[in-house]
Structure 1
């Protein structure tokens, strides 16, 4: 169960599929300052306000390589944090197809194949190196959020009938 923490951030509007910012690779963060800290606070506030498990900066219209997360792994341990300038260095293990959703495609969920283990390396808001490793749902989250920063959405990983169904649903959605 995700914890819903309060905070000082400002909730920003989520960008939906069709917004060009979601299809553009984000820029690396170069300034580790108060503006970055405020942005990360805003990202957490926006993620929690929309009942998300993760949020990439471009989902709130900021083209920087940052994501935040609050999700459980396959052992039920909760992970909460952020990664700046993340790189997905490992995605391996068994491929699991499970329903996946996205705040940028509200109300839609489709079986999406993801690896059961993932490792992301980057830095924190102060520039200190960090390595985040996850299994299960948390691994799915790490892969999903790093994909956003490359300009990809989870529907891009779908194939065949699942992809066709997803794209039909997107076209019919009232937010598209």
Structure 2
């Protein structure tokens, strides 16, 4: 398949709410394969459609491949049905904001519903890092990036670090 270019912030497409896919998942198979190739090559653990210019509500993720076996997941038209009332703060990076990590507070678990690559409707509780990754990618589908989850002061610092580029 192919490794696609990843859009970098502040590309306006990263701030755009994506369109639902609906029932037609068959035409997405090549895009999904390309998104996995792109994510693994980056190397990342998740990649959303808008990060590669596909303005549709889908993302791919694999939270285990860096530690061992691959466990690829495709979520089309995902939604959160339930979430932990407790927030847990954890470090997040983003392939569209390379070189920047930030502490983001998110629910520790979520119950997700989505359509998989075969067109089957799925529902599952995700915990820990899988929940964090899915929420991060879902943010992309809603036109949000990591910066949008930060306090104004933390955002200003992170944006400044990003704009200055890597330390030499």
Match of 1:14 among 6, 25, 33: 6
Q: Could you list the runs of 5+ residues in structure 1 that have no partner in the other structure?
A: 1-8
Tell me the residue number matched to 1:57: 49
TM-score scaled by length of structure 2? 0.89
Equivalents in 1 of 2:98, 2:88: separation in Å?
22
Tell me the residue number matched to 1:32: 25
Contact 1:24 1:150 in 2 (8 A): yes
Local SS of the residue matching 1:26: coil
CA shift in 2, pair 1:90/1:133, >3 Å? same
CA shift in 2, pair 1:114/1:142, >3 Å? same
Equivalents in 1 of 2:52, 2:87: separation in Å?
30
Contact 1:100 1:110 in 2 (8 A): yes
Equivalents in 1 of 2:76, 2:89: separation in Å?
27
* 1:78, distance to aligned residue in structure 2 (A): 7.0
Mapping 1:2-151, distance limit 5 Å: 9-30=1-22, 31-33=24-26, 35-72=27-64, 79-151=71-143
Tell me the residue number matched to 2:146: 154
Equivalents in 1 of 2:70, 2:83: separation in Å?
20
Local SS of the residue matching 1:17: coil
* 1:121, distance to aligned residue in structure 2 (A): 0.7
Root-mean-square deviation (CA, aligned residues, Å) is: 1.9
Number of aligned residue pairs: give it. 162
* 1:93, distance to aligned residue in structure 2 (A): 4.2
Whose strand fraction is larger, Structure 1's or Structure 2's?
Answer: 1
Equivalents in 2 of 1:77, 1:161: separation in Å?
39
* 1:126, distance to aligned residue in structure 2 (A): 2.6
Equivalents in 1 of 2:33, 2:18: separation in Å?
19
TM-score scaled by length of structure 1? 0.85
Per-residue Cα deviation, 1:119-169 (whole angstroms, up to 9, x for no partner): 221111232101132111111001101110000001101114322211212
* 1:77, distance to aligned residue in structure 2 (A): 9.7
Equivalents in 2 of 1:91, 1:171: separation in Å?
34
Equivalents in 2 of 1:103, 1:87: separation in Å?
22
85-94 vs 98-107, greater mean Cα deviation: 85-94
Q: Could you list the runs of 5+ residues in structure 2 that have no partner in the other structure?
A: none
* 1:90, distance to aligned residue in structure 2 (A): 2.1
Per-residue Cα deviation, 1:3-39 (whole angstroms, up to 9, x for no partner): xxxxxx3110000111111111111113222x31111
